[in-house]
Amino acid sequence: MMWTDLYNNVLLFCMILLAFLTLIAIIRSVKGPRIADRIIAINMIGTMTIALICLLAIYLKEDYLLDVCLIYAMVSFLSVVVLARIFTGIYREKQMKKTQQAAEKDSPAASAVETPSEMVLETKSAHKAFANGEKGEQI
């Protein structure tokens, strides 16, 4: 019995430590200069929460918490992938607008038909694929 009590104390200590680490990771997610930093920090918070729920399931002797854990892992993975795709699309849209404006400044008449630079064409096609919802190689 003595070892069980001791082990529960160890689990409690681990959970408190993980909570502190989560707080430290939140600092990075607030400070992070780029959007990728924030997503990385959020992903790591998700991982530590899953470890915490595993510890809690053993501490409380409630096995159903592990199901929560599994669902949490799937939702966390999905959110990271979707957020990364969304921000890539937003960035491409911004780039396309910028190049279009530059082309209009240069030659207002010809800009509506086509833009000469190879890079512009590429971002345009990528944007079109993104807008149509294609799941091809482009995005």
Partner 1 sequence: MEMVKFIISLIFLVFGMFVFVSATLGVNRFDKALNRIHAAALGDTLGILFVVIGLLIWKGLTWASGKMLIIVLFFWLASPVCSHVLGLLELETNEEVQERKDLKEEHHENI
Using CB under 8 A as the criterion, which residues of the chain lie in contact with partner 1 when the complex forms? 3-4, 6-7, 10, 14, 17-18, 21, 24-25, 27-28, 32, 34-37, 39-41, 43-44, 47-48, 50-51, 54-55, 57-58, 63, 66-67, 69-70, 73-74, 77, 80-81, 84-85, 87-88, 91-92, 137-139
Residues 6+ apart with CB under 8 A from 97: none
In terms of CB distance, is 36 or 131 closer to partner 1? Answer: 36
In terms of CB distance, is 108 or 136 closer to partner 1? Answer: 136
Which amino acid belongs to residue 61? K
In terms of CB distance, is 72 or 111 closer to partner 1? Answer: 72
- For residue 2 the two structure tokens come to 């003595």
Angstrom CA distances, 102 to 16, 91, 110, 128, stand at 54, 17, 12, 19
Terminus-to-terminus CA distance in the chain, angstroms?
57
- For residue 84 the two structure tokens come to 């990364």
Minimum CB distance to partner 1, residue 124 (Å): 15
In terms of CB distance, is 72 or 100 closer to partner 1? Answer: 72
